[in-house]
Amino acid sequence: MGGYAFYVWGSFGITALVMIIEVWQLRAQHRAILRNLSNETGSDSDPNHS
Amino acid sequence: MKTRVIHWFKFASPQNFYGLAGRMWPWFAALATVLTLVGLWISFFVAPVDAQQGQGYRIIFVHVPASQMSMFIYLVMAAWAGIGLAFNTRLSGMMASALAPTGALFAFLSLVTGALWGKPMWGAWWVWDARLTSELILLFLYLGFLALQSSIDDPRRADKACAVLALVGAVNVPIIYFSVKWWNTLHQGASVSMKGASMATPMLMGMLIMVLAFWMYAIAIALLRVRNIILDRERHTEWVKHAVA
């Protein structure tokens, strides 16, 4: 990378990292909301169902 | 005529939009993935080395899309907020709230990738240049929006307060955009304008495809997040109980 490796990979790396964390956080949040809802309604359905 | 109007407003109800968003997000996610792969391939294997900046210029392929999205998401967020204030539609506030965290992340990425670009080219991670400073203010506006949102318990009241903040803050977006013209900045001017682009075609293609990829990503993420917001806010309604049962 002609001496720019740290800067180039750092830029692409942090962007990828932020995006992966954001997607993961939203999926986890969705599962948590569904889990709480099925607990509240007392249903025994699959909590991962979307 | 009347039936058409009703048809359009059908998706303004959170219940209907929840289903629509659930059907739409996988398409945008798939498009984002494909465009990112093509964009990365062009960024690293097709686009030539820059005459002045060598390999270092490749940061442009994430820096420009992130910066552009940080500004555009703010305008879309302010537009939803304005619609919410004008028509008192519940979904509008939810859309504005769904966009804010992603906009904040893009503003953050714009500043970080900009610092990583500035250090080797200018010799400084940060300068108090008009472009950089106004982008930093954009990040603070997003953080202010999110803080205000979480400080008001009633979501409808929070939406209204945040809408005013979003609309007033929108004045900053043209300031960021035109800062490189209005003031002497260390930051370079626009590479793409109405008169054409001042860069090699593969570089331009790579940049445009990455911009499109970020667009698709932002839409998919906003749809995913608005689904969570809808479920959370409507959790005591019958339709949600039926939807998860």
Picking from B59, B101, B231, the nearest residue to A7 by CB comes out as: B59
Helix (H, G, I), strand (E, B) or coil at B194: coil
* pTM for the full predicted model: 0.90
Angstrom CA distances, B132 to B127, B128, B129, B141, stand at: 7, 7, 5, 14
Picking from B55, B217, B224, the nearest residue to A8 by CB comes out as: B55
Chain B (146-205) residues lying within 8 Å, Cβ to Cβ, of chain A? none
* Chain position carrying tokens 């030539």: B48
Handedness of CA B91, B93, B97, B103 (dihedral sign): positive
**B49: closest CA among B60, B37, B41, B57?**
B57
**Residue-level pLDDT at B130:** 92
Q: Left, alpha or beta for B189 (phi > 0: left; psi -120 to 50: alpha)?
A: beta
Inter-chain contact B231–A1, Cβ cutoff 8 Å?
A: no
Which portions of chain A are predicted below pLDDT 70? 41-50
**B163: closest CA among B88, B68, B65?**
B88
Q: Yes or no: say if B73 and B108 are a contact pair by the CB < 8 Å rule.
A: no
Report the gap between the CA of B23 and the closest CA in chain A (Å): 11
b/e map of A19-50 (b: 16 or more CB within 10 Å)?
A: beebeeebeebbeebbeebbeeeeeeeebeee
Inter-chain contact A45–B117, Cβ cutoff 8 Å?
A: no
Angstrom CA distances, B164 to B93, B107, B157, stand at: 11, 20, 11
Interface residue B101 vs chain A (CB under 8 A): yes
* Chain position carrying tokens 């990828």: A16
Inter-chain contact B105–A38, Cβ cutoff 8 Å?
A: no
Rounded distance, CA A32 to CA A36, Å? 6
**Residue-level pLDDT at B3:** 53
Interface residue A17 vs chain B (CB under 8 A): no
* Residue of chain B with shortest Cα separation from A5: B56
**B106: closest CA among B210, B33, B235, B31?**
B210
A/B interface, count of CB pairs below 8 Å: 88
Picking from B49, B116, B231, the nearest residue to A11 by CB comes out as: B116
Inter-chain contact A7–B66, Cβ cutoff 8 Å?
A: no
pLDDT tens digit sequence for B122-147: 999 999 999 999 999 999 999 999 99
Q: Find which of B116, B146, B224 to mutate to test the A interface (most A CBs within 10 Å of its CB).
A: B116
| ipTM value for the complex | 0.88
Q: Yes or no: say if B240 and A33 are a contact pair by the CB < 8 Å rule.
A: no
**Residue-level pLDDT at A48:** 54
All structural domains of chain B with their residue ranges: 60-189+201-244
Using a CB-CB cut-off of 8 Å, the residues of chain B touching A15 are 62, 66, 109, 113
Locate B40 and state its tokens.
Answer: 């990365």
* pLDDT tens track, chain B, 245 positions: 455 555 656 677 888 899 999 999 999 999 999 999 999 999 999 998 888 888 999 999 999 999 999 999 999 999 999 999 999 888 999 999 999 999 999 999 999 999 999 999 999 999 999 999 999 999 999 999 999 999 999 999 999 999 999 999 999 999 999 998 888 888 888 887 767 777 878 899 999 999 999 999 999 999 999 999 999 999 888 888 887 76
